[in-house]
A and B are shown apart, each in its own frame.
Chain A
Amino acid sequence: MTNGAGVEAPTLVVEYTAPLRTAGAAGTGWIVPITAAETKDAETASPWQAASAADLCIAARYEDSDHKDREPAIAWGDADPQATHNAIAWAFPPALDRKRRIDWGTAVPKDNGDYGVAWIMNPAFRDKMPDLPWYSTNLYGAVYDDEAARRALQNTDSATTVTLFGSGEPFDVEAPTDVLLRFGYQVPDRPSVPHDVTTRITARQATERDNRRRLPWGDGESVWRNYNLPYPVEDNNVPNPNDPAEQPEIRVVYLTMNTLQIIDVETSTPLKIQDVRISLDIDSLSWQFSGTLHGAGSLALVRPDGAGMKDISVTINTHAWVFTIERYTSDEQFPTHKFQISGVSRTQYMAAPFAPSRSYTNAIATTAAQAATAELQNTGFTLSWPTGGARDLPDWPIPIGALSFRDKSPAQVVAQIVKTAGGVMVPTADADEWKIQPRYPVPPWDWAGAAPDAIIYIGMVRSRSAQYEPAPAFDGCYVSGVNQGVAVEVQRQGSGGLNPMPDIYEELITDPQAAIYRGIAELSATGNKVVETLKIIIPELGAAPGVIKPGQIVQVQHDNPAEDYKALCLSVSLAAKKAGGAEVYQSVTLERDA
């Protein structure tokens, strides 16, 4: 036992020794220790008392429900039997088929006798004629001529002995009428011969019947090896770009009566537009136009509507443009009522969003000009891409799979092709056309001896400004294809290409021609430049130099020829202040070597 502190309590032990004796056994003393009995289960009282009857007070909280359905009265009375007197209008059909009598008697079983075969399996050979009078066909034999054979026999005299037998004995002919002799020809049994088999061709060369006819035209002329085409071709209306430019008229004072005509193309209605500005730069694909239009009625003619954008035609000193008006803004300040309108030349229709974009990879080999022209097929827009001249952008072959693009408009594709070889697309002013040419028709190092496309006399210049644009001068350009094609290192003559510019990689460099022209364009653009803007007049009646176009080689002519220089036209901007009015100038931006 332990107390509360867990210390062993002292225990009283009494040992009793009693000799236990067993019969027959020696006295053995067993000592059994007797300890005080421990009280184990003294508290047997159950900790639970009798449960109280808790459920006796449960009463039903619901009373009997009312009987609602005890009145089974039906709101409808008994239905009147309506169909009681309905008699069936149809009697039973007479059994018509019972009168049918079988017209055939009872079938007689014939084959049931022992189930043997009722017919003989060994019929007589009815078709067996062992003595056939004909033989197999003689396919290649000659046709028998029985008549000839008979005649031959008749005409052959041969002794014949006729022995007459009668009743087993020799017969004596006593009267001429006793014997009737008939002679005939017995056709021998022979194989049949087809009559149509012949080994001889009966067709012969037809007889010439028309040989007396005389042809109304003379002898033909072979053009096979004649390189001079025997039929005329149209004259080439494209002026030779190497022709010298028209010399402008040199005067002390230029008196110009400018004309500006603007009409709506659809209705040919003259439009009152002032402050006309027309511009184009060498890297753009369309001319830009802006102007101030007076009158809401005029605006109704040119503003875009549900039918699309409207075209206007602008003519300045006989130089014509066609623009499509794409936006306008109004100025409602009293008393004026004018609108700012702006537009682009129609070549913009070949770019997004007007033209659909498409994806394409050339499955057959083509050329650059063909691929570019194919992009504009059936659109009404054309490319003028002369390839033969010294100042033209050359055409080059494009192998299968080299031209590949995704979601590009026709203008983008043409630009990709043209710019690969260092070309530009110059939009034509009044036609749906681009003119393709190199960006530098003549590289700057050859400008000194090159014929200019236009000549500006310094006396025509109203104002001028210049900007110096420094750039590193490279003398080598590495132009390469990417996945196929060629790689060409274009170097300035004598330089060795020791100072190359960054390499150029284009997928369409598939031919050395394209690489060389691209290299020329890149090398031409390097080095220090002076960008000069000349504000010059536009001579009337289309006189020289006319409107300078971007991409032209322009010569600025001075009274002292030593001061003359040539430059590349980068952009042109025309400004006409007033319709039919006074000032019309073009601002020509020229790039010249510093």
Chain B
Amino acid sequence: MSTRNPWLKFRRLLQGEGRTVVTVDTNNGDGTSNVSTRQGASIKVKGESVTAGNKAMIEGGELRYEVPNLSTSVVEV
């Protein structure tokens, strides 16, 4: 997204990993969890606060909190 706004340009430089909703596969017991992204990739992240089988939000590469499973639809534009 092009912008002429200097503040937005600066903020985009500082942008981190963003946030993603994943499905927790296992809690590893060592402070990490194995999770699956929406696209199916399996990664290991810090945090075990969400039990396996639930959806969780990842912020800054860390498991933060549980989120509900929202109904998904596909729209073509």
Interface set of A (CB-CB < 8 Å, partner B): 281-284, 443, 469, 478, 480-494, 497, 500, 502-503, 505, 512, 515-516, 519-520, 522-523, 525-526, 529, 531, 570-571, 589, 591
Whole-angstrom CA separation of A571 from B74 in the bound complex: 33
The answer on a CB contact under 8 Å between B77 and A519 is yes
B73 / chain A contacts, CB cutoff of 8 Å: 486-489, 512
B20 at the interface (CB under 8 A from A): yes
- Chain B residue numbers with a CB within 8 Å of A284 are 5
Q: Given the known A-B contacts A484-B68, A485-B70, A505-B19, are A525 and B75 also in contact in the complex, defined by CB atoms under 8 Å?
A: no
Q: Are A523 and B77 in contact (CB under 8 A)?
A: yes
The count of A-to-B residue pairs whose CB atoms sit within 8 angstroms is: 88
Among residues of B, the one whose C-beta sits closest to the C-beta of A494 is B76
Q: Evaluate contact between B67 and A478: CB separation under 8 angstroms.
A: no
Which among A283, A481, A491, A522 is the interface contact of B5 at CB below 8 angstroms? A283
Q: Choose one: A469, A480, A485, A491; the contact of B21 (CB below 8 Å).
A: A480
A480 to chain B, nearest CB (A): 6
- The answer to whether B3 touches A488 (Cβ under 8 A) is no
Return chain B residues, CB-CB under 8 Å to A519: 75, 77
Inter-subunit contact A505/B4 (CB<8 Å): no
Q: Point out the residues of chain A lying under 8 angstroms from B20, CB to CB.
A: 502-503, 505
Quick one: closest A residue to B19, CB to CB? Answer: A505
Let me know if A570 and B4 touch, CB within 8 A: yes
| 12 pairs of residues in contact across A and B, judged by CB atoms under 8 Å | A281-B5, A283-B4, A283-B5, A487-B72, A487-B73, A488-B72, A488-B74, A491-B76, A491-B77, A505-B57, A522-B1, A570-B3
Query: A570 to B18, alpha carbons, bound, how many Å?
Result: 25
Check B77 against A487 for contact (C-beta < 8 Å).
no
| New A-B pairs, 20, CB < 8 Å, besides A502-B20, A525-B2 | A282-B3, A283-B7, A478-B38, A480-B70, A483-B68, A484-B68, A485-B70, A486-B71, A487-B70, A488-B75, A489-B73, A489-B74, A490-B76, A492-B76, A512-B75, A516-B75, A519-B77, A525-B1, A529-B2, A570-B2
Which residue on B lies nearest to A550, using beta carbons?
A: B4
Q: State the main secondary structure of chain A at its contact with B.
A: mixed
Q: Which residues of B contact A531 (CB under 8 A)?
A: 2
Contacting A at CB under 8 A, from B19-77, are 19-21, 38-39, 57, 67-68, 70-77
Q: Is the CB of B5 within 8 A of A482?
A: no
State the Cβ distance, A478 to closest chain B Cβ, in Å: 7
* A568 closest partner in B (C-beta): B2
Residue of A nearest to B39 (CB): A500
**Residue of B with least CB distance to A467:** B2
**Complex interface: chain B residues within 8 A of A505 (CB):** 19-21, 57
- CB within 8 Å for A469 and B2 given contacts A480-B21, A483-B68, A502-B18: yes
Specify which of A478, A493, A503, A570 is in contact with B77 (CB 8 Å cutoff).
A493
- A402 vs chain B, min Cβ distance (A): 12
If A281-B3, A281-B5, A491-B76 touch, whether A486 touches B21 (CB-CB below 8 Å) is: no
Point out the residue from A491, A502, A529, A571 that lies within 8 Å of B75, measured CB to CB. A491
**Contact across chains for A516 and B77 when beta carbons are under 8 A apart:** yes
The answer to whether B57 touches A482, judged by C-beta atoms less than 8 angstroms apart, is yes
Residues on the B chain within 8 Å of A497, using CB: 74
CB-CB under 8 A from B76, the residues of chain A are 490-494
Interface centre among A502, A505, A522, A523 (most CB of B within 10 A): A505
Set of chain B residues within 8 Å of A512, measured between Cβ atoms: 73, 75
Would you list the 9 A-B pairs with minimal beta carbon distance, nearest first? A525-B1, A283-B5, A571-B4, A281-B4, A487-B72, A487-B70, A489-B74, A493-B76, A591-B2
